[in-house]
Amino acid sequence: MTTSAQSNLSGPFDSVQGRPQQGNASKGGTRIALRMTGISKSFGPVQALSDVSFTVRAGTVHALVGENGAGKSTLVKILAGVYQPDKGSTEINEKPYTFDRPDQALAVGVSMIYQDLDLAEHLTVAENVFLGNEPKGRLPFTVDYKAMVKRTAELAKSFSFDIDPAAVVSQLPTGDCQVAAIIKALARRASIIIMDEPTSSLSETEVERLFEVVRQLREKGISVIYISHRLEEIIGLADDVTVLRDGRVVHSESVTKLDIAQIVRYMVGRELTEFFPARDVKPGDVRVRVDNLSSDSRIKEVSFNLAAGEIVGMAGLVGAGRTEVARAIFGVDKKASGSIVLDNKELSINSPADAISNGIALLTEDRKRTGLCLGLACSWNVTIASLGLLGMKRIINPARENKIAADIGEQLSIKWLGPQAPVDSLSGGNQQKLLIARWLLAKSKFMIFDEPTRGIDVGAKKEVYSLLNRLAEEGKAILFISSELPELFGITDRILVMRRGRLVGNLKTSETTQEEVMHLAAVETD
Amino acid sequence: MGKFVRQLLPFGSLTLIICILSALEPDTFLTTENLLNILRRSSVNGIIAIGMTSIIISAGIDLSVGSMLALSGMVGAYAMIAIGGSDPQGSSLIIGTALGIVIGVICGFTNGVLITKLKLQPFIVTLGTMSVFRGISYVMNNGQPYNVPSYKYLGEGIVLGVPISVIIFGVIIAIAGFLLKYSRLGRYTYAIGSNRVAAFHAGVNVDRNLIYIYTFTGLLVGIAAMIATSRTVSAQPTAGIALELDIIAAVVIGGASLAGGRGTITGTITGTLLISVLRNGCTLLGISTHVQLIVIGMIIILAVAVDQLAQTKTSELQAP
């Protein structure tokens, strides 16, 4: 923990590091719009938030930053009534509230604008704005469309937003949809608007426009909680910033007093511990050569090499194109250009089946959606990618299959009731090990792990790291995609950094710092 | 435990109904003749239900099986008449039979290709082909049936005291049961139905396997169509109207899930027999066909409800 890491900081008014706050009160008043105190929340064994206090002044833009998994989303979801905290209290305009459901938060003026915006695409802007709250027409069971359009236009005008209330949402550019979502919040008399990564899918001009909109909101005394990974945005837009790390508040201050480098330091400042098992492997010859890989889905001209026994990490923000690199290599997405060479052989891969038969494995980031057949037996899930290889190309020998599954289960110490148990009876960590077992059986030479430790507990994480080490020792080439810098620094030899679909860094882990990686990943340099 | 209950349930109900009927109507129900009759009547539906089981396990559906049955029969009978005259005999019957089955295969293949290559929902595709196949059956002979008076063997033939159609039914049960349980195709069928995206990421060629499954079902429908044609010694363009619903009911009563990933051949056979025995019993007891509809409808809902209950219980047990 860094020196300033105190979990009970509550905002810019509590002096941080002993500084008085009068200097940065230029924007926004001194009234407190929101005060969350001592919020804790755990999901099963995972402590998502510990004793978090968070204060937002009325009429300010308050940025909430932190690495993936730091607890930002959990915190705002508690505020919006989606989750209920285990401990802690919430005051809005100095009145205490507890929300059991999102509509209760809405009723007192807390509106959340989700990344995917939550709009009914086939309805008009006005219909969306008044969804569930339609003005009644003259006849029973009818809706007064004219009033709806008129009131939406008035609302837009009072904030100087430029939008056609009668336009159908699916026809609008993303930026306008965002404005529609904001008007929807305003129509419900929102006084606190939460925006979760609002710029992730916007073009640059749209981003500028959104900033204007956010500044308009601030002018009218509305508080905006702004979650973003793009630090330069925050410097330009926010008044205050709160940094979360590992479910704790590590810093909360006026933006004017911070620069990007400092924010990055607060975000990653964490010591590497003995947590990561040591490994003693000298990377061997180059096994994998990825050249000029581009795909239709957002990645451009990505090139890198992997050596035998080398664990190479891939860092980047959400949406930077890391998963897309994996998908393009594995044949899930169509390649637009580029080549993949494994053991001096250029591969032609058009589907995961091709990739697997060429010795490539992909442990996908979402094991429930793209990894496991949850209702089926563990053994079936383990052998599915290698039935041909195991000599069961046409006909399956269940006894043999069961034995193979039981053996590999024992080897990886998977805790299950037996190979015949359904997969959904296993814990997350054991499900993950099951998927690793799948690729071991498939005799993969080049293994891509996409967020292999996501959503599993600490003990299971450590086992996954040991497994990765063991695979590297066996001479496999390993690409390890992760959003958690500490684990990248803990186990990799090299780190590739992605930003906006391009590879922007290829660094020796021993010669770089978390700050440098985060800087490359988060900050536009050109 | 839950799995066991689920598999036992339809079988238990079948046994129970057979016991009740045996007690009520020992002289008419529990005779070899009546039991063979039930099996013979079940064979057409049962053969199709086996195909439907594989489709439902893959999380699909085929609404066109009834129309496919009519079309296969019509084409088969037409070929017999075209080759062998108004009362075709011998080789013309064999050629017609083969052709009818091939038509089933082509229909099923078409469904599979449309579903996978155009990425359309099975429900929509087969709703469409249901209409198309039926339309062609009507157009072929202006809505009139083709009569093939000597085409009796498949429908009436008996070998060692067992009707041919029942023997065919039995062979298909054995083959399909083996394929579903022990073949890689069968395994992939469950995987695709359980989680299609995950199966794809594990290297399963989803499209090709789905085309196999629909084509296999077409083959079975073709065989069933020729048995049905032989039984009535005529091919009716109206054959198999609303048959798909009976078939789906049998599969669902047998424990398959319309959400995919779950179902067995034994369950489906039990479901098919359950409906047949129920119909037969109602007839023997003098219960009208109208009331039979009510009873069967209630059984479908009851079966699924109990199944659902058993499943919730298991998932609660599994929670760590």
User: How many Å apart are CA A516 and CA A356, to the nearest integer?
Assistant: 35
Same domain, A288 and A347: yes
Domain tally, chain A: 3
Q: Considering chain A, what percentage of its residues have pLDDT values greater than 70?
A: 90
- Identify all chain A residues contacting B184, using CB atoms and an 8 Å cutoff: 387-388, 392-396
- Give SS3 for A306: strand
pLDDT of residue B311: 65
Question: Please, which residues 252-311 of chain B have a Cβ atom closer than 8 Å to chain A?
Answer: 261-262
Same domain, A292 and A395: no
Question: Residue B205: which of A353, A424, A438 has the nearest Cβ?
Answer: A353
For residue A439, give both structure tokens: 């690729």
Contact B203 A352 (CB under 8 A): yes
The CATH classification number of B3-311 equals: 1.10.3470
B40 φψ region: left (φ > 0), alpha (ψ -120 to 50), beta (else) = alpha
Question: Residue B201: which of A352, A387, A396 has the nearest Cβ?
Answer: A352
- Which helix (H) or strand (E) is A48 found in, with range? strand A46-57
Indicate whether A401 belongs to any domain: yes
ipTM of the modeled complex: 0.84
pTM over 0.80, yes/no: no
Same domain, A349 and A460: yes
Contact B191 A356 (CB under 8 A): no
* Residue B1 forms contact with A (CB below 8 Å): no
Contact A396 B182 (CB under 8 A): yes
Query: Domain range spanning residue A310?
Result: 283-359+444-526
- Give SS3 for A474: coil
Same domain, A437 and A457: no
What mean pLDDT do residues A75-83 have?
92
Indicate the domain borders of chain B.
Answer: 3-311
Same domain, A392 and A500: no
Q: How far is Cα of residue A375 from the mean position of the Cα atoms in its chain?
A: 27
Q: How far is Cα of residue A228 from the mean position of the Cα atoms in its chain?
A: 11
Contact A384 B203 (CB under 8 A): yes
Same domain, A464 and A454: yes
- Identify all chain B residues contacting A377, using CB atoms and an 8 Å cutoff: none
pLDDT of residue B316: 41
What mean pLDDT do residues A236-261 have?
88
- Give SS3 for A340: strand
The nearest CA of chain B is from the CA of A112 a distance in Å of 31
* Residue B204 forms contact with A (CB below 8 Å): yes
pLDDT band at B287 (very low <50, low <70, confident <90, very high): confident
CB within 8 A of B300, min separation 6: which ones?
Answer: B249, B252, B253
Chain B residue at shortest CA distance from A368: B198
pLDDT band at A9 (very low <50, low <70, confident <90, very high): very low
pLDDT tens, A98-140?
999 888 998 899 998 887 677 888 899 999 888 877 888 888 8
Same domain, A348 and A450: yes
Chain B residue at shortest CA distance from A349: B203
Q: Which of B114 and A298 is assigned the larger pLDDT? A: B114
Q: Which of B152-161, B175-184, B211-220, B239-248 has the lowest mean pLDDT?
A: B152-161
Tell me, what CATH number does A312's domain have? Answer: 3.40.50.300
Kindly state the DSSP code that residue A344 receives in the 8-state scheme: T
Interface probe for A, chosen from B3, B201, B262 (most Cβ of A below 10 Å), is: B201
Contact B198 A370 (CB under 8 A): yes
pLDDT tens, B33-48?
888 888 988 999 999 9
Indicate whether A186 belongs to any domain: no
Q: Considering chain A, what percentage of its residues have pLDDT values greater than 90?
A: 32
* Residue A332 forms contact with B (CB below 8 Å): yes
CB-CB contact of B58 with B192 (8 Å):
yes
Number of neighbours of residue A94 by Cβ within 10 angstroms: 10
Indicate whether A345 belongs to any domain: yes
Same domain, A428 and A459: no
Chain B residue at shortest CA distance from A358: B203
CB-CB contact of B216 with B47 (8 Å):
no
For residue A303, give both structure tokens: 């090139």
Same domain, A403 and A511: no
- Torsion sign (Cα): B25, B30, B32, B34: positive
User: How many Å apart are CA A293 and CA A333, to the nearest integer?
Assistant: 12
pLDDT of residue A384: 93
Same domain, A252 and A397: no
* Residue A510 exposed, middle or buried by CB count within 10 Å (0-12, 13-18, 19+): exposed
pLDDT band at A11 (very low <50, low <70, confident <90, very high): very low
